[in-house]
């Protein structure tokens, strides 16, 4: 990104001042100079367009891992007031609705895993359905899928896919309210009937990781993490259903904008007022997709436990946290001393409530909400904790991952899948994938430096680092 014209507020916070006669809300970019320079110029254009949407409260902002997306940049955060004509935009949620990460603690350490790492990699690969259009063993009718869309992870646990105590450590306690399965098209449901309990493709993964470094000992104790411990991270979302909902509602939201005279700075920002019929219809469908994603990650948790129990009969996998990073949620926030109900778009950004927030499980109340910054294949991930400071800075939001530094097409010019997999194996990281092309597209070098992203997230006051997780086994679609 060309930084000309940006104003540096501090080393990790920048603004884009409005031009002469330009009417829009403020724009804030979080990140260090090196990170901003790796972002494409489209990020600047897109977040400036978001700042022109009606009903925006405060600034339109980007997280340190931001890159170009559809409508909103990925890593974009914006809050809208429904009482002031605030809007909801499918482009501000993303097509993979409620894509997120579930992190699981284990009672194993690296010495336990090492002799059986190859066996673990192969067993996970053959048990966890992964890949474009890949289906699993669960086949649902439209009516049964409606139960999933209403019940989320609660539905999955009720059918034996996991433990009731898992739900305490899942966003929304495993079930998003306000879901309206009737607002989801039959075609979207058809796409999902065989995809429950599947990983998908692209940047989705299941990783077996080791806690390599502790940054905050007190928070690590609260999270149940220690150096040398094995953890599992599951990164996926609402699969075909979520993508289809995004596609289906772009047209109705665009029509609503036209009907109500909303001037769209970019047609990809198709939106409708939150309180409009079209806005409410999309919210009901979106919440159904959130439940689909929560159920999906719950089923994958169950499958991962089955694999571990076969190889390590005494193993225990407990949920550390499950948090989404493609949502729009109604939340209460204090703005200029006044509590307001706002709709927070987080696209490629994670909710990051600070210590003392009433929605947090008692175990994490003092430390703050666990935040997961997922790395790219082979580079490692971070566990962080939300801060009180983030509430004022970014409506309690933080980075969600490393963020792409080059397109998939560009990545294919630089890497070959088999060579990359062999290289990572030489570093002690076992990759299992059905697509060599997909592996090349997801090469670690195609992403920003996750260490810099995590550092900038902390230095910007959005979340503080707790632990670094180094990958040992990675299952990809």
pLDDT in tens, 320-334: 999 999 999 999 999
Q: Which residues contact 258 (CB under 8 A, 6 or more apart)?
A: none
Residues composing the chain: 477
The model's confidence at residue 15, banded by pLDDT at 50, 70 and 90, is: very high
- State residue 153 phi and psi, 5-degree precision: -65, -25
Residue 2 lies in a domain: no
Query: First and final CA of the chain: distance in angstroms?
Result: 31
**Secondary structure (H, E, C), 253-276:** HHHHHHHCCCCCCCHHHCEEECCC
Q: How many whole angstroms separate alpha carbon 55 and alpha carbon 274?
A: 10
What is the per-residue pLDDT for 376?
84
Of 333, 345, 400, 414, the active-site residue reads: 400
What is the per-residue pLDDT for 160?
97
- List pLDDT tens digits, range 348-400: 999 999 999 999 999 999 999 999 999 988 899 999 999 999 999 999 999 99
Residue 70 lies in a domain: yes
Strand pairing class (326-335; 338-347): antiparallel
Enter the pTM of the model.
0.96
Of 355, 381, 363, 348, nearest to 450 by C-alpha is: 381
What is the per-residue pLDDT for 133?
78
Q: Provide, rounded to the nearest whole percent, the portion of the chain with pLDDT above 90.
A: 92
Q: Provide, rounded to the nearest whole percent, the portion of the chain with pLDDT above 70.
A: 100
What is the per-residue pLDDT for 403?
87
Active site residue 400: yes
Q: How many whole angstroms separate alpha carbon 351 and alpha carbon 417?
A: 33
What is the per-residue pLDDT for 404?
87
- Exposure string of 107-146, with b = 16+ CB inside 10 Å and e = fewer, is ebebebbeeebeebbebbbebbbbbeebbbebebeeeebb
Residue 1 lies in a domain: no
Contact criterion met (CB below 8 Å) for 461 and 389: yes
Q: What would the mean pLDDT of 97-124 be, rounded to a whole number?
A: 98
Q: Which residues contact 253 (CB under 8 A, 6 or more apart)?
A: 88, 89, 90, 270, 271, 272, 278, 279, 282
Q: What is the domain range of residue 284?
A: 7-476
Angle at 391 between CA 385 and CA 392, to 5 degrees: 135
- List pLDDT tens digits, range 266-321: 999 999 999 999 999 999 999 999 999 999 999 999 999 999 999 999 999 999 99
**Secondary structure (H, E, C), 370-396:** EEEEECCCCCCEEEEEECHHHHHHHCC
The token duo for 64 is 């340190």
The answer, yes or no, to whether residue 241 has pLDDT greater than 80, is yes
Angle separating helix axes 277-311 and 142-158, nearest 10 degrees? 50
Residue 414 lies in a domain: yes
Q: How many whole angstroms separate alpha carbon 95 and alpha carbon 100?
A: 13
The model's confidence at residue 434, banded by pLDDT at 50, 70 and 90, is: confident
Q: How many whole angstroms separate alpha carbon 78 and alpha carbon 72?
A: 9
Contact criterion met (CB below 8 Å) for 208 and 232: yes
Residue 146 lies in a domain: yes
Q: Mean pLDDT for the chain?
A: 96
Of 188, 195, 206, 74, nearest to 132 by C-alpha is: 195
- List pLDDT tens digits, range 41-78: 999 999 999 999 999 999 999 999 999 999 999 999 99
Q: Which residues pair with 106 in a beta bridge?
A: 317
What is the per-residue pLDDT for 43?
97
CATH, residue 135: 3.90.1860.10
Number of domains in the chain: 1
- List pLDDT tens digits, range 168-211: 999 999 999 999 999 999 999 999 999 999 999 888 999 999 99
């Amino acid at each position: 990104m060309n930084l000309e014209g940006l104003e540096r507020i501090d080393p990790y916070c920048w603004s884009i001042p409005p031009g002469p006669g330009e009417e829009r809300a403020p724009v804030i970019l979080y990140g260090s100079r090196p990170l901003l320079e790796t972002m494409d110029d489209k990020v600047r254009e897109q977040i400036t367009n978001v700042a022109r949407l009606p009903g925006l409260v405060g600034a339109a902002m980007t997280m340190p891992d931001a890159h170009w997306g559809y409508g909103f940049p990925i890593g974009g955060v914006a809050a809208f007031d429904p009482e002031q004509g605030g809007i909801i935009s499918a482009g501000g949620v993303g097509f993979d609705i409620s894509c997120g990460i579930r992190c699981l603690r284990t009672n194993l350490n690296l010495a336990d895993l090492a002799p059986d790492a190859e066996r673990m990699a192969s067993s996970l690969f053959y048990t966890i359905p992964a890949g474009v259009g890949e289906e699993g063993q669960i086949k649902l009718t439209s009516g049964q899928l409606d139960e999933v869309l209403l019940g989320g992870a609660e539905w999955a646990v009720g059918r034996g896919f996991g433990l009731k105590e898992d739900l305490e450590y899942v966003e929304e306690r495993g079930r998003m309210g306000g879901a309206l399965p009737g607002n989801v098209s039959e075609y979207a449901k058809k796409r999902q009937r065989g995809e429950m309990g599947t990983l998908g493709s692209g940047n989705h993964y299941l990783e077996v990781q080791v806690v390599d470094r502790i940054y905050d000992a007190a928070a690590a104790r609260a999270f149940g993490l220690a150096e040398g411990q094995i953890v599992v991270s599951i990164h996926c979302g609402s699969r075909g259903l979520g993508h289809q909902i995004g596609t289906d509602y772009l047209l109705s939201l665009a029509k609503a904008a036209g009907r109500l005279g909303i001037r769209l700075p970019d047609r990809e920002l198709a939106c409708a007022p939150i309180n409009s019929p079209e806005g409410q219809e999309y919210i009901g469908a979106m919440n159904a997709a959130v439940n689909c994603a929560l159920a999906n990650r719950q089923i994958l948790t169950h499958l991962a436990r089955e694999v571990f129990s076969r190889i390590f009969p005494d193993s225990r996998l407990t949920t550390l946290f499950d948090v989404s990073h493609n949502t729009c949620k109604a939340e209460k926030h204090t703005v200029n001393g006044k509590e307001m109900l706002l709709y927070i778009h987080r696209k490629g950004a994670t909710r990051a409530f600070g210590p003392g927030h009433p929605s947090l499980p008692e175990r994490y109340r003092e430390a703050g909400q666990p935040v997961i910054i997922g790395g790219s294949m082979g580079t490692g991930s971070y566990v962080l904790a939300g801060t009180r400071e983030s509430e004022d800075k970014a409506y309690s939001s933080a980075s969600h991952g490393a963020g792409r530094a080059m397109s998939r097409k560009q990545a294919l010019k630089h890497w070959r899948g088999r060579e990359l997999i062999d290289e990572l194996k030489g570093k002690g990281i076992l990759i299992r994938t059905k697509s060599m092309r997909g592996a090349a597209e997801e090469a670690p070098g195609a992403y920003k430096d996750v260490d810099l992203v995590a550092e900038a997230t902390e230095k910007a006051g959005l979340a503080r680092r707790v632990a670094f997780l180094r990958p040992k086994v990675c299952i990809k679609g």
